[in-house]
Amino acid sequence: MKASTITALFQPEPEPTLPGVGAAVTKGMRRQSVWLAIALPVLLTLLLGCLDAATGWEISLFIFYALPITLAVWWIGTKAGLFIALLAGVVWWVANEGAQPYETSLGYFWAVVNREFYFGVVVVAVTVVRNKQEADAAHIQMLEERRRLEQDIVAVSEHEQQRIGQDLHDGLCQHLAAIGCAARVLAEDLQAQKVSEARDAVMIEESIQQAVLEARNLARGIFPVHVDRSGLAAALVDLGKMMHRLTGIAIVVKDCVDVPLDAPEVSMHLYRIAQEAVANAVKHSGASEITVAMKLSGGELELRVADNGSGMPSPRMRGEGMGLRTMRYRAQAIPANLEITPRSAGGTLVCCRLQLHHLRDHENHC
């Protein structure tokens, strides 16, 4: 058999990422050439054969042949394990041929067949374990890649919202403000000339000023400029005021303390969770009052959004909308614990708890 054929036969199988003891050794051996990886199990098999011959028939070492077989399967693959299993059978035959107690060659041959069956079972068992670990490692890697992809999607979405909010604030709002100034000048000129159309010009100016106010509120909702190292509380207050103006629902923001958060993305995630919770209460609960609170106690930051609405729907009707999934993902990304529970007095409570030592770990990881 040619060397290239042997190399192709024992070509190492795809390398998984395996945790646990011996992972570094396994990873290193799988990166070696096939000849080096197969040489160690072969030498170990021959060494066991020499020891087996020295101990004689009464002290058989055949169970220890499982070690080189296991290494061959784990480092290279099933084909290499079958080769070592066949080699182990031949070595065991030669090592014990002079001391075996069988009266006929058929009896000794049947003993060798039994050993080979045992070696084959070892190959199958180790292959199953290896395949299971490879599948688990691939699944873990897929989850990690999915998590990174979700983080990238949220980051891109957040960046795009910030860009749109900044463009609204710096572009459209300024342009509307300039038009409003021009309308004011026109109204003053028409009033000075005592023209009847002066009232229409005043109405146009007021409409433009209202449009500027709404555009700025929209820009702040998309890109809350106060969400920085210590401005989360101010941003929540602005959120309450803006949602009250838009909906007419009483939104009370209380007990919001300024907490210095060194990671701006953490403040943004908490703000978005509160924003989504308030929006859900406005849309679905029929609440007349919504309360937003944030407090710091014992190294734990707690954000609470409560309403006095109709409460949570039944489990059959609840479902998981995009908003709830986004809230849960943002909480996991911080990481924080998010709970959505019914209130005893009626309505729904959204509670997000963040341990500050977890926050420090998150900042160090980032």
Indicate if the pLDDT at residue 68 is higher than 60. Answer: yes
Q: Sorting pLDDT into bands at 50, 70 and 90, what band is 181?
A: confident
Q: Mean pLDDT, to the nearest integer, of 129-155?
A: 84
The per-residue pLDDT for 18 is 43
Residue given tokens 């990174």 in the structure block: 148
- Cα 225 from Cα 234, distance rounded (Å): 10
Residues 6+ apart with CB under 8 A from 80: 10, 37, 38, 41, 72, 73
Alpha-carbon distance 295 to 353, whole Å? 10
Q: Taking each helix axis as running N to C, give the angle between helix 105-167 and helix 78-96, from 0 to 180 degrees, rounded to the nearest 10.
A: 160
Interacting residues of 149 by C-beta distance below 8 A, sequence separation 6+:
none
Contact residues for 279 (Cβ-Cβ < 8 A; gap 6+): 243, 323
Mean pLDDT of 26-52: 83
Domains in the chain, start-ordered, CATH in brackets? 3-149 (no CATH), 226-366 (3.30.565.10)
Task: Name every residue whose Cβ is closer than 8 Å to that of residue 350 and which is 6 or more positions away in sequence.
Answer: 273, 277, 304, 305, 306, 327, 338, 339, 340
Report the alpha-carbon distance of residue 79 to residue 214 in Å, rounded.
Answer: 71
- What tens digit of pLDDT does each residue of 72-81 get? 888 888 898 9
d(CA 255, CA 275): 17
Q: What is the Cα–Cα distance from 350 to 87, expressed in whole angstroms?
A: 66
146-166 pLDDT, tens digit each: 878 877 777 777 677 767 766
Q: Each residue of 215-230: pLDDT tens digit?
A: 776 766 666 645 544 5
Section 250-267 average pLDDT: 76
